[in-house]
Chain A
Amino acid sequence: DADVTQTPRNRITKTGKRIMLECSQTKGHDRMYWYRQDPGLGLQLIYYSFDVKDINKGEISDGYSVSRQAQAKFSLSLESAIPNQTALYFCATSGGGGGTYNEQFFGPGTRLTVL
């Protein structure tokens, strides 16, 4: 079984719709992250969470919100989707203490298309 899972893997939605992307992990890590990937732009950090009560904005948080429902679950919401949010979204986790807190493990990604 995969350590970091994302659902759905693919989603097509319309402008203005609310959607949620979900991430679950079985690695027992404290830290979880949401990134988006656009062609030619690499990965950009949207939000990150160091524990259930800790949520932090990343580089590009506008238009997004997150919820850390449990240590193992971190959801990303688009309240009103717009076409320029069409991208590949990745969830990542890290943990283990010391420097290993900075070593990230990525999920398989969710491809989101907003029409």
Chain B
Amino acid sequence: AQSVTQPDIHITVSEGASLELRCNYSYGATPYLFWYVQSPGQGLQLLLKYFSGDTLVQGIKGFEAEFKRSQSSFNLRKPSVHWSDAAEYFCAVGINQFYFGTGTSLTVIP
């Protein structure tokens, strides 16, 4: 069965610190992989995606993610977090039909 696990429900980091959000998945084949961000009261915005090729992908707002096939992981990273990055982050995987993780809520301390 297909599933997406985001093991960290909530993360708190200081502004300027680095960030890594974890995502592991179970899928029959190698799916397309996505990270979305949701600010309070807003819809989801695509941060980055992996379809094929280079396993380190760059996204908007200074985010990057690395696909590791052997670990079925697609972790999101940012070298230096800004207060405006506080939001809910969702990992999603799939081909034509998509499965989302339960999300990681990020708090940024000034």
**A interface residues (Cβ-Cβ under 8 A, vs B):** 4, 33, 35, 40-45, 48, 50, 56, 58, 90, 92, 99, 101-109
Contact = CB atoms under 8 A, between A and B. Distances in A.
23 contacts: A4-B43, A33-B98, A35-B100, A40-B9, A40-B103, A41-B102, A42-B90, A43-B90, A43-B100, A45-B99, A48-B97, A50-B96, A56-B97, A99-B32, A101-B96, A102-B51, A102-B94, A102-B95, A103-B34, A103-B46, A104-B34, A106-B43, A108-B43
Contacts of A42: 4, 90, 100-103
A107 B9 CA distance: 24
A110 B60 CA distance: 26
A104 B98 contact: yes
A106 B99 CA distance: 15
Interface residues of B, number: 25
Interface of B: 4, 9, 32, 34, 36, 42-46, 49, 51-52, 90, 92, 94-103
Given A40-B102, A42-B102, A42-B103, A107 B97 contact: no
Nearest to A2: B43
Given A42-B90, A42-B103, A106 B44 contact: yes
